Amino acid sequence: MLNRGVFLDRDGTINEEVNYLSRPEQLRLLDGVVEAITSLNRAGFKVVVVTNQAGVARGFFSEAMVPAIHDALRKMLEPAQIDAFYYCPHHPTAGVGIYKTDCHCRKPKPGMLEQAAREWNIDLRRSFVVGDKISDLAAGRAVDCRNILVRTGYGGEEEKVFADYPWQPDFVADNLQKAARWILLQSDFVKK
């Protein structure tokens, strides 16, 4: 049987938005995220972080720093569990060297979601994407996930931009905790 998944953006969704977060010491969890992720863990969802990290492409920090930040984040979130972290170090125009590429993994393209679905046996049609940017939700929409915009990070500004879009998020939540509550209330996703 395929797993259900919740794909979370990192900066502005789980932790405070920092312009090009480049060191573990810069991590500050947003209120309620441990409880939110723990509730998703208990309900049987695979919880996967998918994050664009253009700071690598722009030469602001090394690619080796990204796993170090994720290790620190994993510890900060305990007892909540992140099943996997996926990141895109590329940028199509501002990248340097090998990182300057128009890849399939950079959101709004769905490459990270597709890779996670293969590796974790996730049914994308029964899964959710939660993020603070239109690009997060566009990646989810490309693979038929339900999409939740959180108003944390850039979400408040992005919500205004969405007003002119031909498609809308499935839900808008003040934060990850409220997004998780909505996910758990979806009748066809309740654990039997």
Active site residues: 9, 11
8-state DSSP, 100: B
Q: pLDDT tens digit string along 119-175? A: 999 999 999 999 999 999 999 999 999 999 999 999 999 999 998 999 999 999 999
Q: Is 40 exposed, middle or buried (0-12, 13-18, 19+ CB in 10 A)?
A: buried
What global pTM score does this model have?
0.96
Domain 9-124+148-185 belongs in CATH node 1.10.1270.20? no
Kindly list the domain boundaries of the chain, sorted by start residue: 9-124+148-185
Q: What is the per-residue pLDDT for 191?
A: 44
Q: pLDDT tens digit string along 70-98? A: 999 999 999 999 999 999 999 999 999 99
Residue 11: pLDDT above 50? Answer: yes
Closest C-alpha to 48, from 106, 4, 8, 89 = 8
Tokens of 66: 């990204």
Q: pLDDT tens digit string along 18-59? A: 999 999 999 999 999 999 999 999 999 999 999 999 999 999
Average pLDDT over residues 110-116: 98
H helices of 78-142, where?
A: 111-120, 134-142
Query: Between the CA of residue 104 and those of 21, 42, 75, 143, 166, what are the distances in Å?
Result: 23, 32, 29, 13, 23
Residue 190: pLDDT above 70? Answer: no
Q: What is the per-residue pLDDT for 192?
A: 37
Residue 79: asked if its preceding bond is cis (omega within 30°), the reply is: yes
